[in-house]
């Protein structure tokens, strides 16, 4: 399965994908960004993956042409801060996923990106946040959910500490979804068979717990 990744920023999720997809069923074939200085592009180049800087993020023809020229099967939005033009969404219906750093449908929609999300979670008093991966539709953050994983919020959290804990889960869940899609030939829903994290400010135990829990692949929906 040939995968295109869109990223606007640091690209830590891209890095997790690059690391997971070495010699596997999924190939990261191209990385696209609206920003020429995105760290994500440096990561792609270091991994030997071609990059494309989008000249006009509203121009669906440019993006569709690039995706077609690389024979892309699956598009992954990993921290891409521009809206994908509707003709690109239509061309990749059911084959474009986005990762969001909270449990959608809560804390999604316009303006909900980066630390804004974690700040809103803390201000709401929620005791659980998490990661959502969903199919991209023309409605922002509203497409069918492919995978979710909870992350505990603790009393001492700042947006930064919560972001850190959520990111550790993102870096395991996104590759799991992409690898499962590559093995299945289509995007499949991942369902955890057990949920239960010790509440901890540490990243590592959460990440270890996630890696230790097998994800069951379900094709219903």
Name which position in 44, 76, 78, 147 contacts ligand GRF (CB under 6 A).
78
Residues 119 and 163: their CA atoms lie apart, in Å, by 9
Name which position in 5, 13, 97, 180 contacts ligand GRF (CB under 6 A).
13
Name which position in 4, 5, 6, 11 contacts ligand GRF (CB under 6 A).
11
Name which position in 54, 99, 121, 147 contacts ligand GRF (CB under 6 A).
99
- In the bound state with ligand GRF, the residue whose beta carbon lies nearer, of 29 and 112, is 112
Using CB under 6 A, which of the segments 52-60, 96-104, 149-157, 178-186 binds ligand GRF? 96-104
Task: Give min distance, CB of 220 to ligand GRF, in A.
Answer: 25
Total residues at interface with ligand GRF (CB under 6 A): 13
Name which position in 49, 63, 170, 182 contacts ligand GRF (CB under 6 A).
170
Q: Is residue 101 part of the contact set for ligand GRF (CB under 6 A)?
A: yes
Task: Give min distance, CB of 185 to ligand GRF, in A.
Answer: 25
Q: Is residue 7 part of the contact set for ligand GRF (CB under 6 A)?
A: yes
What track of x and - describes contact with ligand GRF for positions 121 through 160 (by CB under 6 A)?
----------------------------------------
Active-site residues: which are they? 100
Q: Is residue 74 part of the contact set for ligand GRF (CB under 6 A)?
A: no
Of 84, 163, 170, nearest in space to 132 by CA: 170
Q: Which whole-number Å values give the CA distances from 86 to 1, 57, 113, 126, 139, in the listed order?
A: 23, 11, 20, 33, 10
The residues that bridge with 204 in the sheet, in sequence order, are none
Asked if residue 28 lies in contact with residue 17, where contact means CB atoms within 8 angstroms, the answer is: yes
* Buried b or exposed e, range 179-190, using 16+ CB within 10 angstroms: bbbbeeeebbbb
Phi, psi of 137 (to 5 degrees): -120, 180
Phi, psi of 200 (to 5 degrees): -150, 145
DSSP 57-123: TT-HHHHHHHHHHTT-SEEEESS--SPPPHHHHHHTTTSEEEEESS-TTTT-STT--THHHHHHHHH
Q: Is residue 79 part of the contact set for ligand GRF (CB under 6 A)?
A: yes
Task: Give min distance, CB of 206 to ligand GRF, in A.
Answer: 15
Residues 173 and 170: their CA atoms lie apart, in Å, by 5
Phi, psi of 52 (to 5 degrees): -135, 125
Indicate the residue whose CB is closest to ligand GRF: 79
- Interacting residues toward ligand GRF by CB under 6 A: 7, 9-14, 78-79, 99-101, 170
């Amino acid at each position: 399965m040939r995968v295109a990744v869109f990223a606007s920023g640091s690209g830590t999720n891209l890095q997790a994908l690059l690391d997971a997809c070495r010699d596997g069923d999924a190939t990261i074939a191209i990385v696209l960004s609206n920003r020429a200085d995105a760290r994500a592009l440096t990561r792609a180049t270091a991994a030997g993956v071609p990059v494309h800087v989008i000249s006009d993020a509203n121009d669906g023809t440019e993006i569709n042409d690039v995706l077609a020229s690389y024979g892309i099967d699956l598009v992954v939005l990993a921290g891409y801060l521009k809206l994908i033009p509707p003709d690109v969404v239509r061309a990749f219906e059911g084959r474009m996923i986005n990762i969001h750093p909270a449990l959608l449908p809560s804390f999604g929609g316009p303006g909900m990106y980066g630390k804004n999300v974690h700040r809103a979670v803390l201000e709401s008093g929620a005791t659980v946040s998490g990661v959502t991966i969903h199919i991209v539709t023309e409605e922002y953050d509203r497409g069918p959910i492919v995978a979710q994983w909870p992350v505990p919020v603790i009393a001492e959290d700042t947006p930064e500490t919560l972001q850190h804990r959520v990111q550790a889960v993102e870096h395991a869940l996104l590759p799991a979804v992409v690898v499962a899609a590559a093995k299945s030939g289509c995007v499949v829903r991942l369902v955890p068979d057990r949920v239960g994290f010790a509440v901890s400010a540490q990243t590592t135990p959460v990440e270890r717990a996630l890696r230790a829990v097998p994800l069951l692949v379900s094709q219903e929906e």
